Structure 1
Amino acid sequence: MSVPSIPEPVASFIVAVNNHDEQAFLDAFTKTGAVDDWGRTFTGRQQINAWSDREFIGSQGKLTVEEVDDKGARVAVIGDWRSNHANGRSKFVFDIEGDKLAKMTIREG
């Protein structure tokens, strides 16, 4: 199976996540960026970092991309998420602002 083409800044973000690079993960977001994890919203670097320490980078997560839907300012990625916190097929929707992520929304894939 071929890996779908992933546009920037989402591609670099996924590399940072899979490498467990907390700094690059946080730097991918705008200053007012947000994460919506199944209806729980975390806004700003401090909240995103606290959430990630428990459930994302801190849980040694890895995303294997299966599908990409590129709509320009909104990119949806469906893939297999594996971590010490949660596992399974998930959909990640990224709202892009310039070269940063304004929001990442996580739902069932």
Structure 2
Amino acid sequence: MAAPTIPEPVASFITAVNDHDEQAFLDAFAPDGTVDDWGRDFTGREQIKTWSDKEFIGSRGTLAVEEVDIAASTITVIGDWRSNHANGRSKFVFDVDGDKLAKMTIREG
């Protein structure tokens, strides 16, 4: 089975995450971008970095993409998340604004 095609900027974002590239991860977000991690919101790069240091890049997370759905400027990715913080099938909903991520929402997949 072929890997799902992931549009930009989400494809580069996932590569940055899987490569544990903190700078590319942060640069993927708009300056006022938001992460909604199961109802906990982190807005702006400083808050996102603080969250990520513990729960995302800092926990050596990787995402194996299983499904991709594209609806206008919203890209939904479902995959197997593995890290030193949390593991399991997760849904990542990306709201894209141009070449940046306006919001990433994480929920149970």
TM-score for the superposition, normalised by structure 1:
0.99
Q: Which residue of 2 aligns with 1:43?
A: 43
Distance 2:66 2:51 in 1: 25
Match runs of 1:55-94 below 5 Å: 55-94=55-94
Determine if the alignment matches structure 1 residue 3 to structure 2 residue 28: no
Deviation at 1:42, TM superposition (A): 0.2
What do the CA deviations read for 1:50-109 (whole angstroms, capped 9, x no partner)?
Answer: 000000000000000000001130000000000000000000000000100000000000
Q: Which residue of 2 aligns with 1:26?
A: 26
What do the CA deviations read for 1:8-58 (whole angstroms, capped 9, x no partner)?
Answer: 000000000000000000000000000000000000000000000000000
5+ residue gaps in structure 1? none
5+ residue gaps in structure 2? none
Q: Which amino acid aligns with 1:4?
A: P
Aligned residues: 109
Aligned CA-pair RMSD? 0.5
Distance 1:36 1:2 in 2: 30
Q: Secondary structure at the match of 1:20?
A: coil
Distance 2:79 2:2 in 1: 13
Distance 2:2 2:107 in 1: 24
Distance 1:85 1:16 in 2: 18
Distance 1:77 1:66 in 2: 7
TM-score for the superposition, normalised by structure 2:
0.99
In percent, how many aligned pairs have the same letter?
76
Deviation at 1:2, TM superposition (A): 1.8
